[in-house]
Structure 1
């Protein structure tokens, strides 16, 4: 038994050494021993390459605005580990986390002695969340964000009210596959028999896979630009974005979000479609005012977030080529006519060549750096691999930030992007600095 939160957290983190072990056998074993908490949860399951966290938060914010209590399971965390298991956006307490670990650790130890082997860090955390939402603190809804892929992800143990697939892009290719079709097949693995799926996927080859899997599972598909769409979307200075949501059931004009970028409009529209489905088929009591307020109030840390006005510093967890493309569009819409210095760090399993080629096109200066994480690419390797004339290298990202800040002019922006783990560290450093 652990007696402190720090001991419990260290035990969880120690399981990172086990890496990723796709499959549901260990989860099924633990759920059986825990008397199936996953069956007691009214779940919404969200998969996709980009936009999962924002979509989860939009759904949560609307439901919360309507007076419902909503649990969320998300990853990675930005400010504190406990936020991975939250209620109405508030992380569970250290005491609750300690209690959950003390219930799960004996199971993990026992499981280690079987042929299935030890559960991974993510499997342990997922089991903790299911135990919490299934028995410790029942809520009206729980929104589960997939960790990796979908078909073999530990969250796929849930049987949701509705499934969501946000977008499809190239990420985690060593595990999910090298083609859009292979990656989509893994994401579409969250589709359950008779449970509808709402998706913002737009590639023809990806849609074919989703519709094929859904047909096999007799699951209805709601497609973006067919069953619901966006009209009149445009950036709004000093606010975010404004758009009109349209479906065969609703037309909601001039919705506003404080998050910036066309991709956030898509994420918000997915959330509105989820709410529309819950209204229609589960009689969930939500009106248009709840949708408007919920969308506008939602804020997701580390997504085109201005962490300092003077000097102007923006952080964004764009961790794959598709995310970088959306980041550049957002920069062009919201910080045009300003000079950009880009600071970048990423993990080794990313498509670095595509990401850096895109980033170097928008920055007057490109700074490669690194951070203390097992899979982080060393700054020296980035600098040697991508010797652009306007590129620099700083091994210590904190020194890089300080030097850049002191040389910035009024019309300049420091844009820090890359791995979400990197953004989490940077945000904490800048918060403490302020």
Structure 2
């Protein structure tokens, strides 16, 4: 590590364990989200700019960021490259966010880097900058890890919130990706699609090619104009590249891809939902840009294998087959629409029971309108997280819509998510239905806990 010995930090002053380091970092949550790049730039300056040694693929967008990152990581790794993947929020533990070749950061690296960061962070807290936030310290930790410890060939780099003022925007990537724009984080990013697009388009850098699947006319115009102003070549879905879905089944979707450099006749993804074909095509266009301009070597066979093998936990994931429990982190209207479409097109059931929890500041009525007409029993609960939406408030919206839509047949309110899960399963087992399907959706904070509980019998670690 740039001349540093692992034993340079005296154990008496630093963190001894990964748990201690994570407790310190997650404790910084109290400083909230503070958009702006001054503090992260200052941190990078303190460590001699590790980010300048790395090749980033920067991914922004309302939905699909995680899936696009998963496709990119899978293809690059299958092609023999070393890959760092930085994503948020995580589903099981804090260290999931900082991966190298699919493995979480090692505890000893986490401890060592946290010990390097802590005195710098504490000095900043005393200055006019104020304390860096939890997300800023996590981002700095990732840049130190990738830029001074493991040196990957590529870093797949997901934005946290927005883009323009997001901490991750401290890097200059080799390609930028904007998946789509939808209604999310409007309290921070602004009330309209145009406002949100302007924030996401803030990741577009001078001369750096950009790939996007934005679809609303006002979003397309903003992305186009921003790319033009920054002399960045834009590859837009529907213009420079396109795809066609050839076949759709549970756990298998075939599609063809048409790009400016070549066409690919038949590729398969096993992640469910039509939106996953869009995500795969978007990732594929970014890889095509890298093949064209950065001599990236991706064999067609490796590409096919990697796309087929890509999985992303918590997105239309069947975590139990008897009873059938499907989890999906649809936490905004566009996500809920994609979930509803997938339920209609892919899954067979004669009864649909849904458990859901949400965070405040989301467009809940629009989300619920997409799914409630299909639901038999709706169980409303709360995530185990300090910022959460009260179950009664969400139930009030559901009951108001119920009188208009005539569904769901039953609404159950149970703030304790473990008890809510039992009630969901009881609703399923006590019915006469032959093929009931239980869906757990909403905030990823609920999805994370339920997933860990069903698969491993434990809760997830919390935080961003």
* Length-normalised TM-score, structure 1: 0.97
What is the distance in 1 between the residues matched to 2:391 and 2:456? 24
* 1:398 equivalent in structure 2: 418
What is the distance in 2 between the residues matched to 1:115 and 1:390? 54
Indicate whether 1:351 and 2:351 are aligned: no
Q: Which runs of 5+ in 1 are unaligned?
A: none
What is the distance in 2 between the residues matched to 1:84 and 1:185? 26
2:90 to 56, 68, 77: 77
Deviations 1:111-150 (Å, cap 9, x if unpaired)?
1111111100000000000011111110110010000000
Indicate whether 1:324 and 2:348 are aligned: no
Deviations 1:68-106 (Å, cap 9, x if unpaired)?
110010001112210100012211112211111111111
Pairing of 1:181-200 with structure 2 (within 5 A): 181-200=194-213
Aligned residue for 1:408, secondary structure, equals helix
TM-superposed CA distance for 1:390, in Å, is: 2.3
2:68 to 55, 69, 79: 55
- Which of 247-256 and 118-127 deviates more? 247-256
* 2:449 equivalent in structure 1: 425
Indicate whether 1:8 and 2:8 are aligned: no
What is the distance in 1 between the residues matched to 2:80 and 2:63? 28
- Which of 384-393 and 2-11 deviates more? 384-393
TM-superposed CA distance for 1:375, in Å, is: 1.4
- Which of 355-364 and 116-125 deviates more? 355-364
Instruction: Give the root-mean-square deviation of aligned CA atoms.
Output: 1.3
1:106 to 119, 138, 145: 119
Deviations 1:204-257 (Å, cap 9, x if unpaired)?
1001101111111111100001111011343124x3211111113222122111
Indicate whether 1:375 and 2:375 are aligned: no
2:183 to 170, 178, 184: 170
Aligned residue for 2:414, secondary structure, equals strand
What is the distance in 2 between the residues matched to 1:170 and 1:258? 27
Pairing of 1:253-272 with structure 2 (within 5 A): 253-272=265-284
2:172 to 122, 142, 159: 159
Aligned residue for 1:227, secondary structure, equals coil
1:134 to 105, 127, 147: 147
Pairing of 1:116-127 with structure 2 (within 5 A): 116-127=129-140
Aligned partners of 1:367 and 1:391 also within 8 Å: yes
What is the distance in 2 between the residues matched to 1:236 and 1:359? 21
* 1:95 equivalent in structure 2: 108
What is the distance in 2 between the residues matched to 1:221 and 1:249? 14
Aligned partners of 1:261 and 1:326 also within 8 Å: yes
Aligned partners of 2:377 and 2:427 also within 8 Å: no
TM-superposed CA distance for 1:358, in Å, is: 2.0
Aligned residue for 1:343, secondary structure, equals strand
Aligned partners of 2:273 and 2:342 also within 8 Å: yes
Aligned residue for 1:322, secondary structure, equals helix
Aligned partners of 1:49 and 1:171 also within 8 Å: yes
2:372 to 352, 355, 360: 360
2:290 to 274, 278, 295: 278
What is the distance in 1 between the residues matched to 2:110 and 2:73? 21
What is the distance in 2 between the residues matched to 1:175 and 1:274? 28
* 1:414 equivalent in structure 2: 438
Q: Which runs of 5+ in 2 are unaligned?
A: 1-13, 403-408, 459-464
* 1:24 equivalent in structure 2: 37
What is the distance in 1 between the residues matched to 2:90 and 2:243? 30
- Which of 248-257 and 319-328 deviates more? 248-257
What is the distance in 2 between the residues matched to 1:204 and 1:339? 38
Indicate whether 1:306 and 2:318 are aligned: yes
Q: Identify if the C-alpha distance between structure 1 residues 262 and 59 changes in structure 2 by more than 3 Å, giving closer, same or farther.
A: same
What is the distance in 2 between the residues matched to 1:174 and 1:219? 29
Aligned residue for 1:371, secondary structure, equals coil
Aligned partners of 2:382 and 2:391 also within 8 Å: yes
What is the distance in 2 between the residues matched to 1:39 and 1:382? 45
Aligned partners of 2:84 and 2:101 also within 8 Å: yes
What is the distance in 2 between the residues matched to 1:384 and 1:169? 24
TM-superposed CA distance for 1:39, in Å, is: 0.2
* Length-normalised TM-score, structure 2: 0.91
Q: Identify if the C-alpha distance between structure 1 residues 12 and 44 changes in structure 2 by more than 3 Å, giving closer, same or farther.
A: same
Aligned residue for 2:152, secondary structure, equals coil
Indicate whether 1:35 and 2:48 are aligned: yes
Aligned residue for 1:370, secondary structure, equals coil
